[in-house]
Copies of this chain bind each other. A is one copy, B any other.
Amino acid sequence: MVNNRSQTSLKEKLYTIIFEAETRAGKLFDVMLIIVILLSILTVLLESVAKLRQDFQQTFVLAEWTFTILFTIEFILRIYSSPKPKKYLTSFFGVVDLLSILPTYISLLVPGSHYFMIIRVLRLLRIARIFKLSHYLHEGQILSNALKASATKIIVFIATVMMLVVIIGALMYVIEGTEHGFTSIPKSIYWAIVTLTTVGYGDIAPQTTLGQFLASVVMLLGYGIIAIPTGIVTVEMANASHPKTTTQVCPNCYKEGHEEKANFCNQCGHRLNP
Binding site for B on A (CB under 8 A): 41, 44-45, 48-50, 112, 115-116, 118-119, 121-122, 124-125, 135-136, 139-140, 142-143, 146-147, 152-158, 160-161, 163, 166-167, 169-170, 173-174, 178, 183-190, 193-203, 205, 209, 212-213, 215-216, 219-220, 222-224, 226-239, 241, 243, 247, 249, 251, 254-259, 261-272
Contacts and interface: CB of A to CB of B under 8 A. Distances in A.
**Consensus secondary structure, chain A interface:** helix
Given A166-B118, A249-B256, A45 B241 contact: no
A167 B121 contact: yes
Given A146-B231, A153-B139, A202-B203, A266 B263 contact: yes
A261 to B, nearest CB: 7
B234 A231 contact: yes
Contact of A184 (B50, B157, B263): B50
- Copies held by the complex: 4
A79 B262 CA distance: 53
Contacts of A230: 226-227, 230-231, 233-234
Contacts of A209: 186
A238 B227 CA distance: 13
A189 B216 CA distance: 9
B115 A173 contact: yes
B228 A143 contact: yes
